[in-house]
Structure 1
């Protein structure tokens, strides 16, 4: 996996809408906009401004709220600018001021000399911090690409895997016809967000909602079935692997033994579905999605069935023992 290169200019230019928008613009240090942001974390530099630079997280974005700005003004009034000079001796990616606040001339001057970008937003410090952390965690999340199809069935994100030609796209097409939604076909990009959530998207947004059907060619799902038949991204909650039916293999018929697939360190429930003429695979996947939702609600059909069978056996054996005993007079 290649390391990401994400710069301050990328942060300003990132296209975000409504409740995710950062409302950032540069007010100083433009020569440093190519500086790289290396880690998904933020630092409030109050201790550094007071002169304590041990364990100073200089590699993080430095966030200035009302408290830090008030302290900067007090330092400027008292002529204490050495701490500001010392702060800019570190390789800081950028400084961001919330509430549309602006630093004083001393701060601007040191930032320009160090070519450190100064950004400004009209958001509150708390709101901006929450938005920026979500964005950074998403950008720097571990990722990998998998050959498969990602669909949403009854609100559940299902990743369909299998060898080439086994019928992944055809199965997904039938699911879309049944009213479910396509997220990605052929190549699925997966990101691990917050350490335990897998988010799948199409490898290319322009061609992501097209499908290749052998014998038919490339079809546009949006044009054929409408915008209600697609999604841009979806959490992966179940993996279904399609395989050609093997008469020599013993397949699970009860579902008591649960299998999992490890993707980027996250274990996802996995089903292996054999494919052969006469099997309605889309209906099986629909049922699997409903069954998985039941499991998340605390009801496991296979385990409940097994429990009832054991109770029946125990009760039957108890009756046999009872009626098999001779009356003792």
Structure 2
């Protein structure tokens, strides 16, 4: 599990450390950011102390209006035991009361040149990406016509060989063997390779090959949103496979349901071409063009027409 510390945020956004250096190793556990306006007014009943606290011009200008005794009390409460950091925007002057409280409670106080809104947006995006739920799946992820296709199947069914053929056709490899998946937002799964396997593909009989070295930088990409799952399995003569495409199977990864197709593999079937067509057909369906439903409608119309003719007799 990826963990984010205050030090990571400081280095990512080039923040200036003002005080509380002993606490820069604190963990940030939520992507939510707090702007403690009510807390500046003295209301700490529901203070979200586990969030990064962001102070801007509004909060600090109000703070300057408070009596000296209240100012020290507010900052001591703001620097709670589990507060990961307090960040001052616009490079505003840090109140001495905040510096004293941060040193006493070891809460890092940082400064940024950005405005409050700009920094809040960037920090939220960074934390949501880093703290997103993650999992790892044995498979191959390929970008086919802009569609992130996750190939699944038992070991030896030909996932990597199919990916190699797709790369030769001009598509892009994202990950082979192990796909790390994180849910960055609702219904959005992003797949990427482990750092050790980046750009690499394993072909039995040849070994490990570097796709970027062999086919160029355009043959790989570091991550891709997963929208379609295709499972490859050896042809089973006793199994009935979908021939119309009216029934849509789903597979859940983390908290997202994705469309899943099962393609039987046997000698003579060009699997890479079938996967290409599956990706294009998936895109057409998302655009409102469904060949299976259109065929079913035509068939129903033909049956209804024949029934009317028979009724005339």
Query: TM-score scaled to structure 2, two decimals?
Result: 0.96
Match of 1:224 in 2: 214
Larger mean CA deviation between 268-277 and 186-195 belongs to 186-195
Corresponding residue number in structure 2 for 1:286: 276
Q: d(CA) in 2 for partners of 1:157 and 1:89?
A: 44
69-78 or 99-108, which deviates more:
69-78
What is the SS of the residue equivalent to 1:74?
coil
Confirm or deny: 8 A CA contact 2:157 2:233 kept in the other structure.
yes
Unaligned runs of 5+ in 1: 15-21, 325-329
In the TM superposition, what whole-angstrom CA distance separates every residue of 1:10-48 from its partner, at most 9, and x where no partner exists? 22234xxxxxxx342322211111112122211111111
Cα distance change of structure 1 residues 52 and 219 upon mapping to structure 2, 3 Å threshold: same
Secondary structure of the 1:75 match is coil
Counterparts of 1:50 and 1:260, CA distance in 2? 51
Q: Which ranges of structure 2 fall in alignment gaps of 5 or more residues?
A: none
- Deviation >4 Å, runs of 4+: 76-79
SS at match of 1:57: coil
Deviation (angstroms), 1:70: 1.2
Q: How far off is 1:78 after superposition?
A: 8.2
Which residue does 1:136 correspond to in 2? Answer: 127
Give the Cα separation in 2 of the matches to 1:40 and 1:93: 12
Aligned to 2:79: 88
RMSD between aligned alpha carbons? 1.6
Partner of 1:187: 178
Superposition deviation, residue 138 in structure 1 = 1.3
Contact map agreement 1:159 1:239 (CA 8 A) in 2: yes
Does 2:14 align with 1:10? no
TM-score scaled by structure 1? 0.91
How far has the Cα of 1:321 moved from its partner?
2.4
Comparing 308-317 with 267-276, greater Cα deviation is found at 308-317
Q: 2:150 aligns with which of 151, 159, 164?
A: 159
Within the alignment, does 1:268 sit opposite 2:230 as a pair?
no
For 1:37-61, what per-residue CA distance to the aligned partner results, in whole angstroms no more than 9, with x for missing partners?
1222111111112111101001110
Alignment of 1:304-315 (within 5 A): 304-315=294-305
Does the C-alpha gap of structure 1 residues 24 and 41 become closer, same or farther in structure 2, counting only changes over 3 Å?
A: same
Partners in 2 of 1:112 and 1:72 — Cα distance?
19
Q: Which moved more, 1:266-275 or 1:291-300?
A: 291-300
User: Is the 2:81–2:105 Cα contact (8 Å) retained in structure 1?
Assistant: no
